[in-house]
Amino acid sequence: MTVAVRFAPSPTGRLHVGNIRPAVLNYLFARSHGGSFMLRLDDTDRERSTAAFAEGIEHDLTWLGFVWDRFARQSDRTARYGEVAGQLKAAGRLYACYESADDLDRKRKRQLARGLPPIYDRTGLRLTPAEHAQMAAEGRTPHWRFKLANSETAGSLVPAPTMVSWNDLIRGDQMVDVGSLSDPVLIRENGTALYTFTSVVDDIDFAITHVIRGEDHVTNSGVQVQLFEALGAELPAFAHHSLLIGADGQALSKRLDSLSIEGFREAGLEPMAVLSHAALIGTSDAIEPHGTLESLAAGFSLSKISTAPARFDLDELKGFNARLLHKLPYEAVAGKLEAAGIGGGEAFWNAARANISVFGDVIRWWSVVAGTITPVIEDAAFASTAAGLLPASPWTEATWGEWTNAIKAATGAKGRALFHPLRLALTGEDSGPDMKSLLPMIGEARVRARLCGQAA
DSSP letter at 242?
A: P
For 15-28, b where at least 16 C-beta lie within 10 A, e where not — what string?
A: bbbbbbbbbbbbbb
Does the bond joining 394 to the residue before it have cis omega, within 30 degrees of 0? yes
CA distance 202 to 71: 12
- Strand bridging mode 172-177 / 163-168: antiparallel
CATH number belonging to the domain at 79-156, selected among 3.90.800.10, 1.10.150.170, 1.20.120.160, 3.30.70.1400:
3.90.800.10
* Three-state SS at 143: strand
pLDDT in tens, 120-178: 999 999 999 999 999 989 989 999 999 998 755 434 445 567 899 999 999 999 999 99
Please identify every stretch of the chain with a pLDDT value under 50, giving residue numbers as ranges: 153-157
CATH fold, domain 380-451, is: Arc Repressor Mutant, subunit A (1.10.10)
Res 326: pLDDT: 96
Domain boundaries, the chain: 79-156, 330-370, 380-451
Cβ(162)–Cβ(148) under 8 Å?
Answer: yes
Q: pTM, whole model, 2 decimals?
A: 0.89
pLDDT of residue 154: 39
Q: Note the pLDDT of residue 355.
A: 96
Distance CA 430, CA 376 (A): 10
Angle at 148 between CA 147 and CA 149, to 5 degrees: 115
Nearest by Cα to 252 from 279, 278, 230, 286? 278
* 431-435, Cβ contacts within 8 angstroms, sequence gap of 24 or more: 431/355, 432/355, 432/365, 432/368, 433/351, 433/352, 433/354, 433/355, 433/365, 434/351, 435/400
Q: In 60-113, which ranges are E strands?
A: 70-73, 94-97
The pLDDT of residue 160: 63
